[in-house]
Amino acid sequence: MTEKKELLFDQFPPVSTEEWRAKVEADLKGAPFEKKLVWRTNEGFNVQPMYRAEDIAGLKTTDSLPGEFPYVRGTRTDNDWFARQDIIASSPEEANRIALDVLNKGVTSLGFSIKEASEEELKTLLAGIKIDAVELNFNVCPKKALPFAALLVDYIKAEGAENTFVGSIDFNPFRKALKHGTAFPGDIAAMAAELLDTVKGVPGLKVLSVDSVMLSNAGAYIYQELGYALAWGAEWMTMLTEKGIDPAEVAARIKFNMGVSSNYFMEIAKFRSARMLWAQIVKQYGVADELCKMAVHAETSRFNQTVYDAYVNLLRSQTECMSAALAGVDSITVTPFDTPYKTPDEFSERIARNQQFLLKEESHLDKVVDPAGGSYYVETLTVAIAEQAWKVFLGVEEEGGFLAQINNGAIQKVIRETSEKRHTDVARRKEILLGTNQFPNINEMAAEKIVNDGACGCGCGHSHGEENNGEGLPVARAASDFEALRLATEAASNRPKVFMLTIGNLAMRLARAQFSTNFFGCAGYEIIDNLGFDTVQQGVDAALEKGADVVVLCSSDDEYAELAPEAFKYLDGRAEFVVAGAPACMEDLKAVGIKDFVHVRCNVLDVLRDFNARLLK
């Protein structure tokens, strides 16, 4: 058999790209190829409907193996990542109890929030934990980072784990400027230099944080998060090498904490691009290839989490976790699905852990390295995202570097503009949040389950639900506007009723009733659907009998010219009247007094806000 190997499909003649393109255009029957099938991404480049070997023929991303510089295919020859859980507790004793419990349930990485930075607190937190068998990460106020680092190093040495310890201290003095728009009141470079000197005896302890998950949770696009993360890392390199510290030592202490959104293939490509670009940056400081590796932790998004239909958050975080795992990150935190409205409980934390374990134990994603390598699509995305992120990086460097740009608010301003654009896209359904702005669970009530004040409870020091002073990063999730709309409906003494007056062409009335049900359901209104009526008078009478506040006429464009004026006149202001669609006769209908139309080009949020203003008491 080995002597008779045949190439798969070699009995078929090769087909050129031009032939494929001609076939596609023939099937489009005159519709423009570029408009119908080419996707313009938020990342600033086009995605084609098909890719072939010729698309990656000149790319350098396929020239290396996993574990080889520039690490586009991974920094290791295996893919066994740390499964991390951040411990939420009110005391060190409780944190220790929870940590010991989850370690017995498969967690291999812990995140602790440090409050007092005392020897007693540290010993209590770590009691009974084998520190050389688990990754340990500590979130601490920047001003307390140095004394805490000294305590931790002493503890590690006392345990004899100097050469086996793996973990991090989240020293992030940049957070103040990013979060509040005000510069950190201290000499960051001097503090960081002293911190490096303190931890030099523990090579596995990373202390210089690049926390771009803050940008991701604020709504940044993928290329923006990556570009700014690279600039952030380069700021550490430049700042500390200028103080005479060996660049190899600086590079070895940097840890990237990055977000991961539901844009599945883009996120896989982002992490591949990140490793490749970071290796190139560090290399310029004269560092050996081995020390050009990026240490990266991934955290699933909070920006796209929702309060309504919250179990959909599980679907989002599962694909996000999968993107990070396939991309070969070092560790992953899955954000519990109930984070937007309460402090995660034992159930939601268990589910979040198990999401990672499913990918490891049942899908075996930890058994294969860079499965996306060689994919025409992913390789092309990797290079395209790298190019866009590199432009962001160069722009920051040209304007004085990352620290200068956050201290003057330039980066926060860009992210605020991006967040505003994304909220508008959600309002217009250009960006879909299942269960919120598309296919909502109409009868769900959520007000009673909201038990927190917007703080995430994760110990990260961030507020994920309340607005800041307007100078820092935005904190509103993508769903927040629609949630405010529905909560207003819940709080009102009357829940508006929307009646579907379906008449005429069967296919069109059904399609438009479904669209309108989905549309008004986003505000939490009660929907009354119908099989159809023979006359508009029957439909209007039935609507009024049901106590409808809104009557939506659902029919075909051709029939609207006659049916809409008749229904509008017969209703005579006894309820709001809406036409489903944007018919050619729209101007004629407006001329008789009909002013409300719902269709795919509407800003759904603005329309529903207008109806709330009219209907709620």
Q: Tell me the pLDDT tens digit for each residue of 275-323.
A: 999 999 999 999 999 999 999 999 999 999 999 999 999 999 999 999 9
| Contact indicator for 479, 219 with CB cutoff of 8 Å | no
Amino acid at 388: Q
Joined together, the tokens standing for residue 550 give 């809104």
Relative to beta strand 526-528, strand 576-580 is: unpaired
DSSP assignment of 232-291 equals HHHHHHHHHHTTT--HHHHHHTEEEEEEE-S-HHHHHHHHHHHHHHHHHHHHTTT--GGG
| Contact indicator for 487, 522 with CB cutoff of 8 Å | no
Question: Residue 469: is it exposed, middle or buried by C-beta count within 10 angstroms (0-12/13-18/19+)?
Answer: exposed
SS3 content of the chain, % helix, strand, coil (to 5): 45, 10, 40
- Could you give the dihedral angle defined by the CA atoms of residues 394, 396, 397 and 399, in that order, rounded to the nearest 10 degrees? 120
pLDDT digits (tens, 9 = 90+) for 29-43: 989 999 999 999 999
Query: In 10 A of CB 219, how many CB atoms?
Result: 27
DSSP assignment of 500-550 equals EEEBSSHHHHHHHHHHHHHHHHTTT-EEE--S-BSSHHHHHHHHHHTT-SE
Cα–Cα distance measured from residue 443 to residue 495, given in angstroms and rounded to the nearest whole number: 11
Joined together, the tokens standing for residue 77 give 């020859």
Cα–Cα distance measured from residue 545 to residue 543, given in angstroms and rounded to the nearest whole number: 5
Cα–Cα distance measured from residue 610 to residue 613, given in angstroms and rounded to the nearest whole number: 5
Cα–Cα distance measured from residue 87 to residue 110, given in angstroms and rounded to the nearest whole number: 7
Count of positions (residues) in the chain: 617
Query: Can you list the positions of beta strands (E) in 45-103?
Result: 46-47, 82-86
| Contact indicator for 181, 412 with CB cutoff of 8 Å | yes
pLDDT at residue 3, rounded to an integer = 64
Cα–Cα distance measured from residue 249 to residue 236, given in angstroms and rounded to the nearest whole number: 11
Cα–Cα distance measured from residue 47 to residue 376, given in angstroms and rounded to the nearest whole number: 12
Joined together, the tokens standing for residue 163 give 């050469």
Cα–Cα distance measured from residue 110 to residue 89, given in angstroms and rounded to the nearest whole number: 13
Cα–Cα distance measured from residue 270 to residue 385, given in angstroms and rounded to the nearest whole number: 7
The stretches in the chain having pLDDT less than 70 are 1-6, 453-469
**How close are the terminal C-alpha atoms of the chain, in Å?**
79
Q: Where are the alpha helices (DSSP H) in 104-257?
A: 119-126, 142-158, 175-180, 188-198, 213-217, 222-241, 247-252
Cα–Cα distance measured from residue 237 to residue 247, given in angstroms and rounded to the nearest whole number: 7
Query: In 10 A of CB 352, how many CB atoms?
Result: 25
Query: In 10 A of CB 190, how many CB atoms?
Result: 11
Cα–Cα distance measured from residue 85 to residue 349, given in angstroms and rounded to the nearest whole number: 8
pLDDT at residue 467, rounded to an integer = 46
Cα–Cα distance measured from residue 436 to residue 96, given in angstroms and rounded to the nearest whole number: 37
Cα–Cα distance measured from residue 416 to residue 472, given in angstroms and rounded to the nearest whole number: 8
